[in-house]
Amino acid sequence: MTERGQFTHQEILSQPKVWASALEILDRQRDQIRSFYKSSSFDNVIFTGCGSTYYLSLAAAALFQELAGVPSRGVPGSEAWLTPNIFLPKHNHLLVAVSRSGETSETLHACETFRKTKSGKLATLSCYPQFPLATMGDLNLLFPAAQEESIAQTRAFSTLYLATTYISALWAGRDDLLDALHKLPEVGQRLLDNYQKLAETLGSDGNIERFYFLGSGARYGLATELNLKMKEMSLSYSESFHFMEFRHGPQSMANEHTLILAMVSDHNRAREEAVVEEMRARGAKILSMAETNADVAFNSGIPQEARNVLYLPIGQLVAYHRSLSRRLNPDKPHNLTAVVKLSE
């Protein structure tokens, strides 16, 4: 009999190794990826996906705009498909479609709709070469080592996000960040080694009734993804917010039965920590993540723009242990399938 949650656990713990594999693939294709972007002068960059990869798109678009200064946004695949007049600009633009499976219906329809507009180029990122998205783009990037047995995405999400970080740095001409990205597998492994027990303790705490994930800027999309993991795996009450927005109403829910996972940045650390301390004073439990002086301290020496993926593994483990503590199976979340395919 398959042990409950064994696939999810292995996929979370294997992330540093899979990141290293992805970086090798990207390094081999570096010149091709760079020339693809430099050959066109895009007015806009749109990242799209569904579910987890929509949240990835939010994070990737924010980071790319921060690094390259090109207007960028994350759009759900369904919106790009059904309302392209709102979400797909009529100018020369790049659509970056991200999908673990490469066969999610809305994402495929969004790409087909985009192709019909003939107003730009398409890049795709996925994990399975045999499915349609893998060959639909003008540029197609594949990461087969990130494939998963579990329904809820963990290593696929982080690996695909890491890939968007790499291409964003490359297209922005930030070779310093490309070099820094190669330190991530070693740091990620250290964090898993050092903080697994903390994640288990918090995830198994039956006194916690609700979870909040706080992240701002390029980290907001990652906060929404960890929120989704908590919902999917453990069927728990969970929400995500920008740091400062949490004060505008949601803070009323903070008490001794609340866990707040705070993805603290370098640039706005003082203001974000002020929010955290206010919630601590209301009795909330806090799991802070930051480069230094935090419950989960990266101590990576990697620039902020290149290390956002480090916020993910410990947050995923908290959701995993919450699921086990509620006698659920994180490999097979309630009412979910690995791929959403619409009947035509």
Q: What does the pLDDT read at residue 1?
A: 37
Write down the mean pLDDT value for the chain.
94
Tokens at 242, concatenated: 């920008």
Task: Tell me what the mean pLDDT of segment 161-173 comes to.
Answer: 97
Residue with tokens 């996000």: 161
Task: Tell me what the mean pLDDT of segment 248-254 comes to.
Answer: 89
Of 15, 56, 23, the residue nearest 228 (C-alpha) = 56
Looking at per-residue pLDDT, the higher value among 22 and 334 belongs to 22
Q: How far apart, in whole angstroms, are the C-alpha atoms of residue 13 and residue 227?
A: 19
Stated length of the chain: 344
In order, the DSSP letters of 268-330 are THHHHHHHHHHHHHTT-EEEEEESSSSSEE------GGG-GGGGHHHHHHHHHHHHHHTT--T
Which of 40-49, 263-272, 312-321 is predicted least confidently?
40-49
pLDDT band for 2, please (50, 70, 90 cuts): low
Q: How many CB atoms lie within 10 A of CB 128?
A: 20
pLDDT band for 218, please (50, 70, 90 cuts): very high
pLDDT in tens, 93-129: 999 999 999 999 999 999 999 998 888 999 999 999 9
User: Identical fold at 6-181 and 184-325?
Assistant: yes
Q: What does the pLDDT read at residue 343?
A: 59
Task: Tell me what the mean pLDDT of segment 307-329 comes to.
Answer: 97
Confidence check: pLDDT of 172 > 60? yes
Side-chain half-sphere exposure of 318, counting CA atoms within 13 A: 30
Residue with tokens 């979370």: 12
Q: Where are the domains of the chain?
A: 6-181, 184-325
Q: What is the 3-state secondary structure (H, E, C) of 107-168?
A: HHHHHHHHHHHCCEEEEEEECCCCCHHHHCCCEEEECHHHCCCCCCCCHHHHHHHHHHHHHH
Q: How far apart, in whole angstroms, are the C-alpha atoms of residue 14 and residue 18?
A: 6
Q: What does the pLDDT read at residue 164?
A: 98
Task: Tell me what the mean pLDDT of segment 149-161 comes to.
Answer: 96
Confidence check: pLDDT of 313 > 90? yes
Q: How far is CA 75 from the centre of its chain?
A: 14
Confidence check: pLDDT of 171 > 50? yes
Q: Which CATH class is domain 6-181?
A: alpha beta
Task: Tell me what the mean pLDDT of segment 239-258 comes to.
Answer: 93
Q: How far apart, in whole angstroms, are the C-alpha atoms of residue 109 and residue 43?
A: 23
Q: Which CATH class is domain 184-325?
A: alpha beta
Task: Tell me what the mean pLDDT of segment 225-233 comes to.
Answer: 96
Dmax (CA) for the chain in angstroms is: 56
Q: Judge whether 238 and 230 are in contact, CB under 8 Å.
A: yes
